Amino acid sequence: MQRRVPVEACGAGAGGEAEVTLGDDVVRVRADEVAVVQANTWHRFVAAGTGRLRMVCIHASDVMVQENRADA
């Protein structure tokens, strides 16, 4: 499921690999790499490697507001 948030966010890989969809682009994020998501950008993180995906997500807000898009 894709989601978007009204603030800039980032996902930092702590283990494993993720396929990250950022709008129309798809990138691969590995441990010790960071994907930056611009505000209001549809995005998703999906485990892509053979190991367990571990990541830390940081949102530039003290309140979590998220819109989900079920059709993607």
Vertex 3 angle, CA 41 and 30, to 5°: 80
Go through 29-58 and write b for each residue having 16 or more CB atoms within 10 A of its CB, e for each that does not.
Answer: bebeeebebeeebbbbbeeeeeeebebeee
pLDDT band at 72; cut points 50, 70, 90: low
Amino acid residing at 42: W
Q: Model confidence over 43-57: pLDDT tens digits? A: 999 999 888 999 999
Three-state DSSP state, 15: strand
The whole-number pLDDT of residue 49 equals 86
Token pair, residue 53, equals 């995906």
Q: Which residue has the tokens 């950022």?
A: 22
Domains of the chain, first to last: 2-66 (2.60.120.10)
Residue 6 has pLDDT above 70, yes or no: yes
Average pLDDT score over residue span 54-61: 92
